Amino acid sequence: MKLSLLAMSLLLPAAAVAEAPAAPVEAQKKTQDDAKEQASSTEEAQAEDVQEVEIDPKIFDDALGDFYGKKYADAATGFWGYLKNANAADDNYEWSQFFLAESLRELGLTHAAVQYYYLVAKTR
């Protein structure tokens, strides 16, 4: 134990071993107030940014056409674009996840494909 303390004191500079001085109470209070103010303004900004987005079903249909046309890179791009903007309750959401997984598998991206297969299996 004494040897490890001695080794630590030799390896660490004195400034690292010494305790840091405590911050004044007023500075701590000001920092806490600033953090609370920033958090409330961030929450308000996020609430204002939420918008309802209408998903064009043609995106899914085009991606499906690319998939059956063996254009797997284009299909994966289309399915991912659909998933990015869709809600989980949308009609083609799970199908989009499945076909994205299939497209990724066909492209040789098996790890990415497994992630989307997992999402499909988890929601069934």
Could you read off the pLDDT of 87-98 as tens digits, one per residue? 888 889 999 999
**Region at 50 (left for phi over 0; alpha for psi -120 to 50; beta for the rest):** beta
> Per residue in 45-71, pLDDT tens?
555 555 566 788 899 999 999 999 999
- Tell me, yes or no, if the pTM score tops 0.85: no
The domain total for the chain is: 1
pLDDT at 9: 47
Residue 3, pLDDT above cutoff 50: no
Is residue 104 domain-resident? yes
pLDDT at 59: 92
Domain containing 88: what range? 57-122
Handedness of CA 29, 31, 34, 40 (dihedral sign): negative
Distance separating alpha carbons of residues 103 and 119, to the nearest angstrom: 15
